[in-house]
Structure 1
């Protein structure tokens, strides 16, 4: 997930900010502020509303010249759970039975964790080599797949005991997000590319450009596969793009300003 990530401060000095040819979602380009207060894992319920009127025109500045009106979805926070404030979350997935797996970042502090949802207690942890900055995480079968920032190196862990059972080299430009539909892995590298990887060979079998109305949407970050769609956080925004895995088209935006407060 990593929407509040400090990791990319280094990157921001080299990447230019998005322009009208590089559309940003309706939340504009405002990034999250990062604070070290009490942290909770929030569970949000998404409900869809097509806003044809009543949306501030400021919201659409980034879409100048774009005719189509996207579907905009709001959220309602329905629960909060305790969470380690020192865990610099980059990948997060619910595994059932009040358990979630988490990939944390920062050099010398990155880890893969098994966490009790109700208590926030870390039940198991695999500390990573200090050279690596943990990133996106996904679960396929009994294996957890993880990518790392600024490298082409990824790791595979046993979901039961978090033992590292494999290491791989991928063909993406960088390691940002991971998700799966149970058949292939989906990956992102901070560009507008959405990759499909063979989970056996970890080779890229398909690459698509994420687009809204034929304009590329860059900074695709952490991914989730939900009801046949890819849901992707767009870095330094407070929203999620709903993406068709068939052709990379953005079909709607989910706004989450509540989570940045």
Structure 2
């Protein structure tokens, strides 16, 4: 008998809530609540403590309230939550609300930015080497002392091996005339290569440059730059996202978003991975970003201003497009090599913080 009465009470309670919502002309209880953040803003920094509350339009009695970000519960202390996530960028703050016999989740979109502003870096030229000025450079990477390079533009796209000291092209393959080649990376004795808008990439034998297979893109928009950390591949696509690719299946397994302490940034082009950081050319700028490969925070900006003035402008020069592009790290020498599209020089540089 007691069980029957209890069941009846629960049914009446649920029925009462339904009548309440229907009477208000609203069938979705989540419409009665909204997350309110301090200052009514949506841009915050990693680790920032922010005042939070629930706008309760019908003053419904809430029995339980819990906030979370990326599935991680955020405790409320003195009416504030600390915004803390493993990655930065566009995020969804969730409030799980319980009232009566119901539980709902409401959301608020926010932008979680870096905790501090990027540090400024500069460079010192250690050596200058000749570079093929017909090469519209898209990707650079060292492997066993050989510089691998990919070039772009339809009808001019190639993948090549280069003697970096002399600029001699040791071996190359030409892409089909409708292909616009993009970045490259080498991992597990495989050479991976992107195309720009065909949504197609290629895998080669790095020793012979023989193509082994093709792969297609997933949700990423285009093909821009590639690098790897020895386990997974990173891919830029012309947006704020840098995607993770499984080197075996080439499936996109997730992404980070590149952000400063003030905004989300979408200009990462050619990539190189060194000691947990992604070095990324800024598209059409004489600068490079240093990105934390875990969080997406842009921790540094390298100003390569003045480097372009050391280039002799040849027949292939395009003032709007012959920009800095191409970065490779020489592990044994501990230095970076940079060049640009249709540049006649390859520079070996040491990167250091600006005084």
Name the TM tier (shorter chain): 0.7 to 0.9
What SS does the corresponding residue of 2:307 show, helix, strand or coil? helix
* Mapping for residues 61-210 of structure 1, pairs under 5 Å: 68-97=116-145, 99-171=146-218, 172-210=220-258
TM-score by length of 2: 0.53
Q: CA separation in 2, counterparts of 1:260 and 1:209?
A: 29
Q: CA separation in 2, counterparts of 1:69 and 1:201?
A: 37
Among 267, 283, 292, the residue aligned to 1:244: 292
**2:302 corresponding residue in structure 1:** 254
TM-score by length of 1: 0.72
* CA-to-aligned-CA distance 1:130-173 (integer Å, 9 cap, x gap): 11111001011211101011121000111101111111001210
Gaps in structure 1 of 5+ consecutive residues = 1-20, 22-65
What SS does the corresponding residue of 2:162 show, helix, strand or coil? strand
Say if 2:267 is the partner of 1:216: no
Among 258, 271, 275, the residue aligned to 1:227: 275
* CA-to-aligned-CA distance 1:87-119 (integer Å, 9 cap, x gap): 11100112233x200001111111100011111
What SS does the corresponding residue of 1:257 show, helix, strand or coil? coil
What SS does the corresponding residue of 1:225 show, helix, strand or coil? strand
**1:48 corresponding residue in structure 2:** none
**Are the counterparts in 1 of residues 241 and 256 from structure 2 also a CA contact under 8 Å?**
yes
* CA-to-aligned-CA distance 1:52-108 (integer Å, 9 cap, x gap): xxxxxxxxxxxxxx99442111101111111111111100112233x2000011111
Larger relative contact order (CA 8 Å, sep ≥ 6): 1
Q: CA separation in 2, counterparts of 1:248 and 1:67?
A: 11
* CA-to-aligned-CA distance 1:22-81 (integer Å, 9 cap, x gap): xxxxxxxxxxxxxxxxxxxxxxxxxxxxxxxxxxxxxxxxxxxx9944211110111111
Aligned length: 196
The structure number with the bigger radius of gyration is 2
**Are the counterparts in 1 of residues 185 and 193 from structure 2 also a CA contact under 8 Å?**
yes
**Are the counterparts in 1 of residues 117 and 299 from structure 2 also a CA contact under 8 Å?**
no
